[in-house]
Structure 1
Amino acid sequence: MLKPYASQPFETRGRLFPEKLSTFRSPFQRDRDRIIHSSAFRRLKHKTQVFVEHEGDYYRTRLTHSIEVAQVARTLAGALGLNEGLAEAVALAHDLGHSPFGHTGEDALELLMAPYGGFDHNAQALRIVTKLEKHYADFDGLNLTWESLEGLAKHNGPVMGPHADPKKHPADAPLPYALKEVNDQFDLELYTFASAEAQVAAIADDVAYNHHDLHDGLRAGLFTAADLMELPLTGPAYAEVDRDYPDLDPHRRDHEALRRIFGYMVEDVITIATNRLESAKPETAQDIREMDRTIIRFSKPFFQNLKAIKSFLFKRMYRAPTVIKERERVTHMVNTLFPLFMKQPELLPEEWRHEVELAQSDTELARIVLDYVAGMTDRFAIQEFERLCT
């Protein structure tokens, strides 16, 4: 029973290449399934979340992160009367465009690609699902619905216009070329917000990484439970656990406290989103898009508490000396591999050489090299560096 402002499967704006409807699955459920079965999704198993993939079996990868985001998105969408299939599809696909070595690899590729149109992982995800996946007989990509493509492009907000974040999308900056290519074919209404389902996927991302980065940081020994007891949200959660389970062993104590923080985040989103939706009274999915702000958000007090946790994680985890040292090592790998393939494109695998032969400029070649390097897993990038550069 979907709310009127949910994305209705029978109202989908369709696909770039028309297809017959499935007997058993909605268009958004088919999108979800195609994403799960894609090569790019499988490769997320060996791509960094924070720690490089080989550093430990217990740390999150992009794949486990995406699965956790999808689980949160389903919960939120179900509680709010939204389309779970669409929320799940956007959640599962939101990190498909990430390069090896997480944000470190992305930062390196962004600088390397500056002369050739730049690099943006959200735009690269669109390129993957519309072009780079080449398995179907009738089309390149996954031929996802307009709503799923829109969600990938705008789950973090409008990309253009008065409501776009000027820090992420300066008014005078050109669109990332990978986004422009898709938008020229299938107008994604980049001036508006995304559907409520895509907004759910975006905030589910926040819920998942705030939870699991605390968990992974504890496991890595970058901080302790005593440190977390000094923070908002985490401190009260530990206090509750100590009250309810005195003398609980440390491992179970950490898990129980972080599980409660996870619940706090989900409950806050559901409560605030329900209140905002009842107040705004949107009648259609398009009403959500045309609002002047996102409607799926944390409460202001809760968001301020999360900012304190994010600041803590930035200092103690993302900029920890051991993490910085590894960032420097893998940045060197990316900065070596990319120019090498630019100078010697014959080193690319045979299936990529036809694309190289068609390239008519350095920019076209750079975009081919980018597609190859950005698609690498951490493991494969390290292997290629050792094979070609040592």
Structure 2
Amino acid sequence: MNDALPRYEETLASYACKPSETRGRVFKEPETPNRSCYQRDRDRVIHSSSFRRLKHKTQVFVYHEGDHFRTRLTHSLEVAQIARSISRSMHLNEDLAEALALAHDLGHPPFGHIGESVLNDCMGGFDGFDHNAQALRLLTRLEHRYASFQGLNLTWETLEGLAKHNGPLTDAPIDPKNPPESLPFGFRDYLPENDLEIHTYASAEAQIAALADDIAYSSHDLDDGLRAGLFELSELKRIPVVMQLIDEVKWTYPDAPKDVTIHELVRRLINRMVADLMVESTKRIAALDPKIPDDIRNAGQPTISFGADMQQAVKELKAFLFDRMYRHYLVNRMGSKAKRVVTDLFNLYISEPECLPTEWSERAGERNSAETARVVADFIAGMTDRFAFREHAKLFDLNRVSL
């Protein structure tokens, strides 16, 4: 092991996840001399084809609607930056938090949450579709980069954090060899070979990554919505914390142009949310007095959290964005196209799996079977927005000769 790693671990809290204490990987591998196990996890995520495809996957706006709007890739990078900063300040393992932040959206299909909803409807008779379970499936099954194993062979802590970053998946312990039918398919398929203890909370690092996601998409979707002209600063009066920050910016910089005002608002909003999270989480940690990472997992409630007032503010901001941005008619129009593209592709592929690329059609079973449906869902979920549009045009534009 790198001599610097023990010194690094000395800077971490007792309840942080430490590389020397990892529960390891399903497929044993020798450690590297210059990187910790969590750094290797992060690097494997970054070098995966699934991560590269996030560049052309929708956050809110489809890729071609503007070069400055967020994509799943830029969003994931922003989440990682916030997660690292918080973890470092709280003496937690920033490499693990970063790996989780970079991986958290890998399972999203094209066209964002609309694409996920439609694909879940298409899979209604075949165990459904869930983007969190799909991320686990990608990292353990579908990525093919190594000769010795399927997936990326990430550590237990990274896979656990990915599965449980939003909280426990069950109320009580389960038999991992016989997972309940209520769990999404990707979890049921994987748990028999690696018990992720889905009845407990995840590590503090995973909880940080989850709230960094909330901070990033709430503030940055607000930024994108303002810059796209979907709503104006004056319409944010219903959210007290945001209006307070707007007044602060306008008082400090009365002559600032609109784009600078928006940036100053967003950076202050991020800072306010991060500061609140750290204050509340520090209180909870002091009350819990954890000694090891499992004390965080078994706390019975989140240890990393916003305070009550900020929780309400985040709830109000999400409600505003849902009403004024995610359901804006311009977003709805693109969503309508996305629904048709995903539905058309799914129905064609499941009924004619021979139209899938060879490496995918070879995995399929009989037409309209559950086996074929899962292959089709895996294929569509891996598409970027632009690839889905192109594939749809190739298959449904009868005047197009070239395939």
* Cα deviation code 1:254-301 (max 9, x no counterpart): 111111011101111111111111121001100100011111110001
Partner of 1:373: 380
Residues paired across the two proteins, number: 383
Question: Is it true that 1:48 corresponds to 2:48 in the alignment?
Answer: no
Q: What amino acid does structure 2 have at the position aligned with 1:206?
A: D
Partner of 2:276: 268
Q: Distance in 2 between matches of 1:139 and 1:131?
A: 9
Contact residue 57 and residue 110 of structure 2 kept, 8 A: yes
Q: TM-score under structure 1 normalisation?
A: 0.95
Contact residue 90 and residue 152 of structure 1 kept, 8 A: yes
**Which of residues 215, 236, 259 is equivalent to 1:251?**
259
Partner of 1:27: 37
Partner of 1:233: 241
* Cα deviation code 1:221-248 (max 9, x no counterpart): 1101111244222111111111111211
Q: Which runs of 5+ in 1 are unaligned?
A: 164-170
Q: What amino acid does structure 1 have at the position aligned with 2:205?
A: E
**Which of residues 238, 245, 250 is equivalent to 1:242?**
250
Q: Distance in 2 between matches of 1:309 and 1:281?
A: 32
| Further displaced range: 254-263 or 171-180 | 171-180
* Cα deviation code 1:9-67 (max 9, x no counterpart): 11111101000011011101100000000000000000000111111111100000000
Residue 356 of structure 1 and its aligned partner are, at CA, apart by: 2.1
Instruction: Map 1:69-84 to 2 at 5 A.
Output: 69-84=79-94
Partner of 1:299: 307
Question: Is it true that 1:131 corresponds to 2:141 in the alignment?
Answer: yes
Q: Distance in 2 between matches of 1:66 and 1:14?
A: 25
Instruction: Map 1:160-309 to 2 at 5 A.
Output: 160-161=170-171, 174-309=182-317
Q: What amino acid does structure 2 have at the position aligned with 1:252?
A: V
Cα separation, partners in 2 of 1:360 and 1:24, compared to 1, 3 Å? farther
Q: Distance in 1 between matches of 2:217 and 2:17?
A: 26
Contact residue 5 and residue 284 of structure 1 kept, 8 A: yes
Instruction: Map 1:51-62 to 2 at 5 A.
Output: 51-62=61-72
Partner of 1:168: none
| Further displaced range: 308-317 or 359-368 | 359-368
Contact residue 58 and residue 112 of structure 2 kept, 8 A: yes
Residue 360 of structure 1 and its aligned partner are, at CA, apart by: 9.7
Contact residue 229 and residue 238 of structure 1 kept, 8 A: no
Contact residue 150 and residue 194 of structure 1 kept, 8 A: yes
Q: Distance in 2 between matches of 1:198 and 1:230?
A: 31
Q: TM-score under structure 2 normalisation?
A: 0.92
Contact residue 288 and residue 299 of structure 2 kept, 8 A: no
Contact residue 101 and residue 378 of structure 1 kept, 8 A: yes
**Which of residues 354, 367, 370 is equivalent to 2:362?**
354
Question: Is it true that 1:324 corresponds to 2:332 in the alignment?
Answer: yes
Cα separation, partners in 2 of 1:238 and 1:16, compared to 1, 3 Å? same
Contact residue 232 and residue 309 of structure 1 kept, 8 A: no
Please state whether the residue corresponding to 2:324 is helix, strand or coil: helix
Contact residue 234 and residue 258 of structure 1 kept, 8 A: no
Q: Distance in 2 between matches of 1:333 and 1:229?
A: 38
Q: Distance in 1 between matches of 2:354 and 2:64?
A: 29
User: How big is the alpha-carbon RMSD for the aligned residues of Structure 1 and Structure 2?
Assistant: 1.7
Cα separation, partners in 2 of 1:17 and 1:325, compared to 1, 3 Å? same
Q: Distance in 2 between matches of 1:310 and 1:174?
A: 28
Q: Which runs of 5+ in 2 are unaligned?
A: 1-10, 174-178, 398-403
Partner of 1:167: none
Cα separation, partners in 2 of 1:126 and 1:279, compared to 1, 3 Å? same
Question: Is it true that 1:382 corresponds to 2:389 in the alignment?
Answer: yes
Q: Distance in 1 between matches of 2:239 and 2:171?
A: 37
Residue 305 of structure 1 and its aligned partner are, at CA, apart by: 1.4
Contact residue 72 and residue 105 of structure 2 kept, 8 A: yes
Question: Is it true that 1:311 corresponds to 2:319 in the alignment?
Answer: yes
Residue 130 of structure 1 and its aligned partner are, at CA, apart by: 0.5
Q: Distance in 2 between matches of 1:313 and 1:363?
A: 37
Question: Is it true that 1:114 corresponds to 2:124 in the alignment?
Answer: yes
Contact residue 165 and residue 210 of structure 2 kept, 8 A: yes
Q: Distance in 1 between matches of 2:362 and 2:181?
A: 32
Residue 317 of structure 1 and its aligned partner are, at CA, apart by: 0.4
Identity percentage of aligned residues = 51
Q: Distance in 1 between matches of 2:267 and 2:334?
A: 29
Q: Distance in 1 between matches of 2:241 and 2:294?
A: 35
Q: What amino acid does structure 1 have at the position aligned with 2:294?
A: Q
Contact residue 100 and residue 377 of structure 1 kept, 8 A: yes
Q: What amino acid does structure 2 have at the position aligned with 1:336?
A: D
* Cα deviation code 1:160-182 (max 9, x no counterpart): 1159xxxxxxx986211211121
Contact residue 144 and residue 150 of structure 2 kept, 8 A: yes
